[in-house]
Structure 1
Amino acid sequence: MIVNSSSKSINETVNGSHTFTIRGYSLAKGISPGKYLSSDTFTVGGYDWAVYFYPDGKNLEDNSAYVSVFIALASEGTDVRALFELTLLDQSGKEKHKVHSHFDRALESGPYTLKYKGSMWGYKRFYKRTALESSDYLKDDCLSMHCTVGVVRNRIEGPRQYSIPIPPSDMGQSLKHLVDSELGSDILFRVGDETFKAHKLILAARSPVFRAQFFGLVGNTKMDEVTLEDIDPSIFKAMLLFLYSDELPDIQEFSDSTVDSASTVTLQNLLAAADRFGLDRLKQLCESKLCEEISVDTVATTLSLADQHRCSQLKEVCLKFASANLGVFMQSEGFKYLEENCQSLVAELLETIASVDEKPGSTLSRKRSSSSIIGIDLMAEWDAAAAESVNPVVRRVRRRQ
């Protein structure tokens, strides 16, 4: 008997893109050849990458005549094969972008191999600097680049077997229907002027606080009504929906207005409620969303909240954002609040600035979530702004540095 079989070796790329914006381009000139501004790291194909921009060129022999741009492997890896594309974006609206693409010549030369962490692909003479500064690629002292990385992957595909499609889980929707319909509810919550019906077993399964309250050693299984203080009804309703669905509800539905800061306040209150009732997943979901909504107007309150509720990752993000936007942040009401009420956080902000400033090349670039460069020396900006301050608390903190 002859048994035939077949298989395929499939080579393909896992692609991802990142946009790197440099603001204050003129301030970066003159940093000397070989020194660069770095984008934030981004992940493609299981590896971290970064874009390096050399305002005065990568090599001394270019005599600052060209700007250099490279894509670097920023994580551990050996013989990582990839295709690359660098695009300098035309800001005139004519879409006459300058494109250097490795993808278009893949058949000619094949993927590029990066041997180890720090290996780079790019162009020493990416663009003549005099031409760049008079082009539509530079507008309002700002330029942007779009980077695409395609990591080469290989997989073996054998003959497909028959399969039966499995529908996605609808458990969350089914449980959410219970709270919406109040079917079988056995506990009533009074929150402010509103009431909410729920199910003790479900709440106990989801929250250690409710489990102890209803079924713990000092709990009361016969309890049928609970009055909650210090929580807004809309926040409790949002938390209740999470308890049943395991999903972060639409925050806009629970915000008082459509202003961006309103959703931030709602998330902050929801995070506090999650911490109060031991809902770690909800707390982390709120942390993640708050990271996306950080602004100069909200970073101070979010930082204070993160410190109060032991959200270490959110706190670190806030400190980095505040240090990267120091000049504007110090003029805000939020900074004044920190000065008056959270002196320890002001000290930690100074420590963050100092630690970033100690890193090689840190006076040339500062990472932000949007990968935008807004200044060259943030520590100098702090000193200039702090010198104008008459607050003795800040002066004492600075002397300890």
Structure 2
Amino acid sequence: MTDNEKPTSSTASQSITKTINGSHHFIIQGYSLAKGMGIGKHIAGDNFTVGGYQWAIYFYPDGKNPEDSSNYVSVFIALASEGTDVRALFELTLVDQSGKGKHKVHSHFERGYKRFFKRQALETSDYLKDDCLRINCTVGVVVSAVDCPRLQHAIKVPESDLGSHFGMLLDNNEGSDVVFNVAGEKFHAHKLVLAARSPVFRSVFFTQDGEKHDEIELTDIEPKVFKVSLL
């Protein structure tokens, strides 16, 4: 690489958008008693959690407003927790209770329907049984995240071979700065290595007495035993 060439690097990231899905089954028992409670008044189901947010189903037996839904029942999905910027997909299903499986399914981005079902038709349909309605609600909270790929293979750290390196220094005498005379046999060693391994050698080599201790004579140990102690 010349002086004018600069090293380059390459990175990558991936944006992933997906939905976190959850569902809730809402049973409305006593429909005939709820009817007549008034336009704009609703029956609320219990809160349920999807995507970290609380949701609830609101059923309006007399419609949500008089302008365009007074002849219809209205159903809405309310965000019961903070976070008005949540984007989600919704599906509302009015369950066919005859066993024929002809469910009424509404799928849309909006959170409800003012004209969910015409009231007169609902009251003579198979969706109402024993004065009971069943509504299934599915919520898919849209979430986006950026994925940064990591290394596919772990880096293997080799085992330490520091001991063998110290042994090589001892064998070839490279950089040695102290000599031990043991029964006439001389061993070349390194003060820093010995001082790091032994507080006795540390006090001998790095005291304030001013002596250099370049050669030390030992008489109370055999040469082969001393050599092992240096490794």
The reply to whether TM is greater than 0.5 is yes
| TM-aligned CA deviation for residue 3 of structure 1 | 2.1
Q: Does 1:43 align with 2:49?
A: yes
Q: Does 1:149 align with 2:155?
A: no
| TM-aligned CA deviation for residue 65 of structure 1 | 1.0
Q: Does 1:11 align with 2:10?
A: no
Match of 2:114 among 117, 124, 144: 124
Q: Which amino acid aligns with 2:44?
A: S
Q: Does 1:73 align with 2:79?
A: yes
Q: Distance in 2 between matches of 1:47 and 1:25?
A: 29
Paired position in structure 1 for 2:169: none
Contact 2:93 2:106 survives alignment (8 Å): yes
Q: Which amino acid aligns with 1:159?
A: P
Q: Which amino acid aligns with 1:61?
A: E
Contact 2:69 2:114 survives alignment (8 Å): no
Q: Secondary structure at the match of 2:87?
A: strand
Q: Distance in 2 between matches of 1:154 and 1:3?
A: 26
Question: What is the root-mean-square deviation in Å for CA atoms of aligned residues?
Answer: 1.6
Q: Does 1:96 align with 2:99?
A: no
Paired position in structure 2 for 1:139: 129
| TM-aligned CA deviation for residue 63 of structure 1 | 6.6
CA distances 1:189-216 after superposition (whole Å, capped 9, x unpaired): xxxxxxxxxxxxxxxxxxxxxxxxxxxx
Q: Distance in 2 between matches of 1:163 and 1:87?
A: 48
1:196-345 → structure 2 map (5 Å cutoff): none
Paired position in structure 1 for 2:66: 60
Q: Distance in 2 between matches of 1:99 and 1:157?
A: 35
Cα gap change, 1:163 to 1:78, in 2 (>3 Å)? farther
User: Going by fraction, where is helix more abundant, 1 or 2?
Assistant: 1
Paired position in structure 2 for 1:326: none
Q: Distance in 2 between matches of 1:163 and 1:131?
A: 64
Contact 2:90 2:107 survives alignment (8 Å): yes
Contact 2:95 2:133 survives alignment (8 Å): yes
Cα gap change, 1:163 to 1:46, in 2 (>3 Å)? farther
User: Going by fraction, where is strand more abundant, 1 or 2?
Assistant: 2
Q: Distance in 2 between matches of 1:69 and 1:16?
A: 18
Paired position in structure 1 for 2:40: 34
Q: Which amino acid aligns with 2:35?
A: K
| Sequence identity percentage | 68
1:338-377 → structure 2 map (5 Å cutoff): none
User: Mind listing any 5+ residue stretches in structure 2 that lack a counterpart?
Assistant: 1-6, 155-231
Q: Distance in 1 between matches of 2:150 and 2:126?
A: 52
Q: Distance in 1 between matches of 2:120 and 2:151?
A: 61
Paired position in structure 2 for 1:159: 149
Larger RCO of the pair (alpha carbons < 8 Å, separation 6+) = 2
Residues matched between the structures, number: 148
Q: Which amino acid aligns with 2:31?
A: Y
Q: Distance in 1 between matches of 2:103 and 2:69?
A: 26
User: Mind listing any 5+ residue stretches in structure 1 that lack a counterpart?
Assistant: 103-110, 113-120, 165-401
Paired position in structure 1 for 2:186: none
| TM-aligned CA deviation for residue 61 of structure 1 | 2.6
Q: Distance in 1 between matches of 2:75 and 2:23?
A: 16
